[in-house]
């Protein structure tokens, strides 16, 4: 019987191990990596070293790239210094492919038993030990998967039918490149595919030359998959993401022709060099994958300025984003909680800045680019995307280290949803009576209040106390507005009166929601008390 179930189980364990290892290492090393990057990148060599060590520490090239892209998107660092980080992060993860050629099965069994004891005593839930225990568990599962694949590959290599099929595949050498690209694209992780190919080679199922070409193809497929992951980025974040994608494609584009030329001409080039260094196919595969990443990282780092200029001008240039699409958040950034929440803060600040635009069409001599209804629907759509993104962050934040920030962001998201509805409904009512003096005063006052709130609450140095005072207890003022409206002579037309009364009520709701929104920026979200209220509605005629 062919050992296909064992191979399938081994590949599954490798997938679980890779994800578990990367997720826990990202929680351990991700915040420190962000601090190092935030501290300043003074030179390309320093940035390259940070990327190399970041990839080594997180064991995820995409994870390192996501951290850099999210920091650029959040405006923490400029795009140019971050370029070497993303390309050298891919070099740092290649070391784990070597694991396929190391025989430490006994130690893996021992460490797996120790991890099991840690789980028995619930150390996986410990804030201090949870991520280290999870990382070691991922490493053990990775080794066990490699062991399953190598043993099953050895048994399969002894089967006559399997040998005939492999011989047929080896007669068409480019098949390895196609297979590697296809699996790299599906798995979205070239390192994992290269590791599986190395395991097959270590078990004798694949020749070293074939597994090397599969590893190169895996880098190509992973680069294409990365493009799809980063495609919704905009601005400098998109440029950085496309720089990373181009580096993945460039490495494969340089390596594959050389390997094909060497195979068909017999001239000793790259693979001959790998064989001269080691006779182990798994290590040859690891060397080929590392060479693919280095062959791209070196020219991309040295030529980063002209390449960035070409990306700005050429095919990858920034595109106009739909109103219903988020500007800063993207699903792949949810893996590192604090970086993801920085993006949420930027997204929510951008949406807060759109609230005054709901009233722009009502201002005299002002032309709105989009209608209030379109802007309202777009804002609600983006807030829905933010809500879904926060759920992803909650799932990824296994240790709950960012639970308080997540709760604060969720609260602000709900308040923003209420603000979009209230401001829009107020704008609809005011449009009915826009020629009335009270309506004009409401429009000017509300627009000024929203513009001030957007300016003060969208930056770390904003004056929260100012917004708290401007929005503190406006019930009495709203009541005076309604009373003055009812007592006005000559009386207002019934339709206009109803619209103005409803607009006054929605204004009161907007003020209350803004006050609650401002309180979320204070520690603990405590309510703010004030002894003096600034009369922002002094411009409104009360009679």
Q: Are 383 and 351 in contact (CB under 8 A)?
A: yes
Residue pair 330/232 in contact (Cβ under 8 Å)? The answer is yes
Is the same domain home to 57 and 150?
yes
Residue 328 lies in a domain: no
pLDDT score of 100 more than 70? no
Domain shared by 351 and 307, yes or no: no
Measured distance CA(360)–CA(458) in Å, rounded: 20
405 shares a domain with 461: yes
Count the domains in the chain. Answer: 2
Indicate if 304 and 347 belong to the same structural domain: no
State whether 279 and 234 are in the same domain. Answer: yes
DSSP for 80-99, written as a single string: HHHHHHHHHHHHHGGGGGGG
Residue 415 is assigned to a structural domain of this protein: yes
- Domain membership of residue 222 (yes or no) is yes
> At a CB cut-off of 8 Å and minimum separation 6, what does 89 contact?
51, 52, 54, 55, 58, 61, 63, 64, 65, 68
Residue-level pLDDT at 232: 64
Whether residue 532 is contained in a domain is answered as no
The region of weakest confidence among 30-34, 160-164, 190-194 is: 160-164
pLDDT of residue 372: 86
392 and 462 within one domain: yes
Mean pLDDT computed over 57-78? 74
Rounded to the nearest 10 degrees, the angle between the axes of helix 235-265 and helix 79-92 is 40
Please count the helices (runs of H) and the strands (runs of E) in the chain: 21, 0
Q: Give the pLDDT band of residue 1 (cuts 50, 70, 90).
A: low
- My answer on whether 345 and 229 are in the same domain is no
Domain boundary among 282, 313, 344: 313
Joined together, the tokens standing for residue 28 give 């351990």
Assign 382 a pLDDT band (cuts: 50, 70, 90).
very high
Structure tokens given for 4 = 């296909």
pLDDT (tens digit per residue) in 6-19: 888 888 888 888 88
Q: Read off the pLDDT of residues 250-291 as tens digits, 9 standing for 90 and up.
A: 888 899 999 989 988 988 888 899 889 888 888 888 888 888
C-alpha 471, offset from chain centre = 35
Q: 196 with 292, same domain?
A: yes
Rounded CA-CA distance 151/9 in Å is: 12
Distance, first Cα to last Cα, the chain: 93
Least confident range from 26-40, 345-359, 448-462: namely 26-40
Tell me whether residue 533 is in a domain: no
Asked if residues 96 and 19 have their Cβ atoms less than 8 Å apart, the reply is no
Cα 194 to Cα 186, 191, 203, 258, distances in angstroms: 13, 5, 14, 18
With CA atoms as reference, report the closest residue to 92 among 300, 295, 290.
Answer: 290
Q: Which two tokens stand for residue 121?
A: 């005593």
CA 327, CA 500: separation in Å to the nearest integer? Answer: 35
Q: How confident is the model at residue 142 (pLDDT cuts 50, 70, 90)?
A: confident
Same domain, 277 and 354: no
State the pLDDT at residue 366: 63
For residue 406, which of 396, 416, 418, 420 has the smallest C-alpha distance? 396
CATH number at residue 509: 1.20.58
**Sorting pLDDT into bands at 50, 70 and 90, what band is 340?**
confident
Report the C-alpha gap between 23 and 134 in whole angstroms. 9
Does 217 share its domain with 363?
A: no
Residue-number span of the structural domain to which 309 is assigned: 4-313
Q: Quick check: is 191 in a domain?
A: yes
Let me know: does 298 contact 318? Beta carbons within 8 Å.
Answer: no
- What does the alpha-carbon distance between residue 244 and residue 87 come to, in Å, rounded to a whole number? 6
248 and 360, same domain (yes or no): no
The answer to pTM > 0.85 is: no
Decide: residue 530, CB within 10 A, 0-12 exposed, 13-18 middle, 19+ buried: middle
Do 377 and 345 lie in a common domain?
Answer: yes
Residue 321 lies in a domain: no
Residue 221 C-beta-side C-alpha neighbours within 13 Å: 26
Residue 537 lies in a domain: no
Tokens 């006005």 correspond to: 488
Q: Which helix (H) or strand (E) holds 163?
A: helix 160-171
Residue 374 has pLDDT above 80, yes or no: yes
Last residue of a domain, one of 313, 346, 380: 313
């Amino acid at each position: 019987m062919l050992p296909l179930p064992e191979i399938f189980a081994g590949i599954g364990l490798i997938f679980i191990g890779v994800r578990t290892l990367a997720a826990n290492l990202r929680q351990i090393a991700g915040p420190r990596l962000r601090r190092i990057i935030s501290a300043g990148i003074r030179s390309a060599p320093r940035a390259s070293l940070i990327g190399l060590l970041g990839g080594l520490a997180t064991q995820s090239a995409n994870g390192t790239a996501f951290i850099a892209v999210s920091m650029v998107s959040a405006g923490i660092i400029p795009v140019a210094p971050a370029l070497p980080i993303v390309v050298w992060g891919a070099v740092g993860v290649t070391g784990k492919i070597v694991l396929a050629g190391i025989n430490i099965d006994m130690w893996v069994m021992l460490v797996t038993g120790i991890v099991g004891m840690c789980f028995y005593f619930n150390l996986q839930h410990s804030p201090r030990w949870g991520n280290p225990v999870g990382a070691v568990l991922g490493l053990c599962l990775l080794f066990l998967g490699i062991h399953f694949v190598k043993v099953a590959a050895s048994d399969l290599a002894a089967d006559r039918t399997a040998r005939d099929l492999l011989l047929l595949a080896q007669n068409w050498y480019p098949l390895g490149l196609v297979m590697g690209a296809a699996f790299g694209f599906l798995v979205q992780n070239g390192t994992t595919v290269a590791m599986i190919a190395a395991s097959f080679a270590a078990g004798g199922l694949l020749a070293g030359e074939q597994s090397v070409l599969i590893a190169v193809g895996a880098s190509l497929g992973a680069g294409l998959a990365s493009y799809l992951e980063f495609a919704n980025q905009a601005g400098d974040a998109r440029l950085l993401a496309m720089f990373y994608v181009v580096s993945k494609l460039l490495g494969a584009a340089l390596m594959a022709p050389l390997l094909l030329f060497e195979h068909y001409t017999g001239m000793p080039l790259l693979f001959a060099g790998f064989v001269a260094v080691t006779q182990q196919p798994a290590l040859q595969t690891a060397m080929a994958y590392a060479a693919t990443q280095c062959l791209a990282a070196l020219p991309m780092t040295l030529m980063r300025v002209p390449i960035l200029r070409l990306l700005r001008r050429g095919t990858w240039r920034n595109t106009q984003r739909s109103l219903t699409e988020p500007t800063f958040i993207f699903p792949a950034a949810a893996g590192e909680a604090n970086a993801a929440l920085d993006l949420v803060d930027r997204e929510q600040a951008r949406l807060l800045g759109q609230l005054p635009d709901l009233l722009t069409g009502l201002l005299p001599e002002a032309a709105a680019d989009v209608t209030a209804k379109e802007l309202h629907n777009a804002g609600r759509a983006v807030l829905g995307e933010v809500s879904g993104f926060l759920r992803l962050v909650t799932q990824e934040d296994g240790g709950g280290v960012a639970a308080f920030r997540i709760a604060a962001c969720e609260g602000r998201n709900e308040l923003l949803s209420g603000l979009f509805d209230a401001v829009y409904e107020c704008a609809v009512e005011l449009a009915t009576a826009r020629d009335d003096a009270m309506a004009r005063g409401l429009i000017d006052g509300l627009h000024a209040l929203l513009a001030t709130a957007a300016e003060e609450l969208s930056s770390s140095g904003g004056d929260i106390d100012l917004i708290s005072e401007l929005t503190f207890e406006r019930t009495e003022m709203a009541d005076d507005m309604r009373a003055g409206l009812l007592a006005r002579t000559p009386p207002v037309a019934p339709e206009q009166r109803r619209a103005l009364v409803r607009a006054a009520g929605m204004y009161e709701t907007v003020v209350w929601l803004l006050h609650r929104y401002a309180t979320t920026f204070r520690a603990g979200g405590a309510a703010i008390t004030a002894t003096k209220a600034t009369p922002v509605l002094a411009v409104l005629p009360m009679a």
